[in-house]
């Protein structure tokens, strides 16, 4: 079965499917359906009884195909438990999540995810959401903008970036990509602007879509819907996501605080399957640029 789609080539496809350890009559979740690349590979295994695909982006529905084992839920994965309960599908045997933004969403351009296209600054993965990038950039107070760029973009000059935006919007609304680039021009480095712009746009996108909040809600629900021995397989693309997933798999909390019983044994609901994070091999790095920053982590529910 072809694994490439118009959406994007699934990252570390073979490693993800192997990590799920698919078994007879297994029930699985693709928490970020997207182009359906990973889902197709899961369903290639005829032992799979049911697969639930979640995606809040309506465009993902264009990638659905006929398979009576596949159920698509056009909602954010933060609602996973609710819909699995509705479909009487708890517990499940494995959950796969490919976090971040797809190549399609970046290259499509019209949603304002990329600085390469002069489009309106929308950045909503769910077009029904109330808040978009325009409202964040024009309505957030200075202190909140500083937090967004410091926490979600991990930018050392977050204060200066936020101040430049506030000063610019006092004269002109920031509605389009060129407005934002002009607003942050005083803080743009003469070299390495690609990395700088990527971090700025990442920070705004994460805030608009509440990505870290939703990720934490999702991870907690994984413990409730996975059966003992079930696998959680997660691909991350930046340090904030990866730290959240790593801490949760290692300790059961997002702060990474280790808890032990009176005998010194670790108290945690999940155990990392891979002691060392998995990254793409050299061949995939050449074939699929999206894999460059990807990290694969696997957890087993205890």
pLDDT number for residue 44? 97
Tell me what the mean pLDDT of segment 244-250 comes to: 97
- DSSP lists the bridge partners of residue 29 as 52, 95
The CATH number that domain 113-209 falls under is 1.10.150.170
When pLDDT is cut at 50, 70 and 90, the band that residue 4 belongs to is very low
- Say whether domain 13-103+211-301 belongs to CATH 3.40.50.150: yes
Residue pair 218/80 in contact (Cβ under 8 Å)? The answer is yes
The CB density around residue 61, as the number of other CB atoms within 10 Å, is 12
Residues 268, 302 contacting (CB under 8 angstroms): yes
- Break the chain into its structural domains and give their ranges: 13-103+211-301, 113-209
Q: What is the mean pLDDT of residues 87-97?
A: 98
Distance CA 227, CA 213 (A): 24
Question: Inter-axis angle of helices 142-151 and 158-169, to 10 degrees?
Answer: 140
HEC string for 258-294: CCECCCCCECCCEEECCCCCECCCHHHHHHCHHHHHC
Q: What is the pLDDT of residues 112-144, one digit of tens each?
A: 778 888 899 999 998 889 999 999 999 999 999
Neighbours of 214 (CB within 10 A): 18
Query: What is the reported pLDDT for 108?
Result: 57
**pLDDT at position 215:** 98
Instruction: Say how many Å lie between the first and final Cα of the chain, rounded.
Output: 34
Interval 168-184 mean pLDDT: 97
pLDDT digits (tens, 9 = 90+) for 281-298: 999 999 888 899 999 999
Answer whether residue 187 shows pLDDT above 80: yes
CB contact at 8 A, 41 and 32? no
Which residues make beta-bridge pairs with 54? Answer: 73
Q: Are 245 and 97 in contact (CB under 8 A)?
A: no
Three-class secondary structure assignment of 102-157: CHHHHHHCCCCCCCCCCCECCCCCCCCCCCCHHHHHHHCCHHHHHHHHHHCCCCCC
Nearest to 166 by CA among 143, 197, 132: 143
pLDDT, mean of residues 150-161: 97
Instruction: Give yes or no for a contact between 245 and 219, defined as CB atoms under 8 angstroms apart.
Output: yes
Query: Residue 52's closest CA among 67, 62, 44?
Result: 67
Non-local CB neighbours of 116 within 8 Å, separated by 6+ positions: 109
């Amino acid at each position: 079965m072809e694994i490439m789609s118009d959406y994007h080539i699934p990252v570390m496809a073979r490693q993800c499917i192997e990590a799920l350890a698919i078994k007879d009559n297994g029930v699985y979740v693709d928490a970020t359906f997207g182009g359906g690349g990973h889902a197709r590979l899961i369903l290639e295994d005829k032992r799979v009884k049911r697969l639930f695909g979640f995606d809040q982006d309506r465009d993902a529905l264009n990638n659905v195909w006929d398979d009576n084992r596949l159920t698509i839920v056009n909602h954010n994965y933060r609602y996973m438990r609710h819909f699995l309960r509705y479909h009487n599908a708890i517990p499940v045997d494995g959950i796969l999540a490919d976090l971040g933004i797809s190549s399609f969403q970046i290259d499509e351009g019209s949603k304002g995810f990329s600085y390469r296209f002069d489009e309106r600054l929308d950045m909503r993965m769910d077009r029904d959401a109330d808040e978009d990038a325009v409202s964040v950039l024009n309505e957030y107070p200075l202190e909140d903008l500083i937090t967004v760029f410091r926490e979600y973009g991990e930018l050392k000059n977050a204060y200066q970036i936020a101040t430049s935006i506030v000063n610019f919007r006092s004269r002109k609304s920031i509605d389009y990509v060129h407005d934002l680039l002009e607003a942050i021009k005083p803080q743009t480095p003469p070299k390495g602007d690609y990395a700088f712009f990527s971090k700025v746009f990442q920070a705004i996108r994460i805030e608009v879509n509440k990505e870290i909040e939703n990720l934490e809600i999702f991870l907690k629900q994984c413990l409730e819907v996975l059966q003992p021995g079930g696998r959680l397989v997660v691909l991350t693309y930046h340090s904030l996501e990866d730290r959240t997933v790593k801490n949760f798999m290692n300790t059961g909390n997002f702060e990474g605080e280790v808890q032990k019983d009176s005998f010194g044994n670790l108290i945690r609901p999940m155990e990392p399957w891979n002691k060392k994070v998995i990254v793409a091999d050299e061949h995939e790095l050449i074939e699929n640029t999206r894999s460059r920053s990807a990290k694969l982590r696997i957890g087993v529910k205890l």
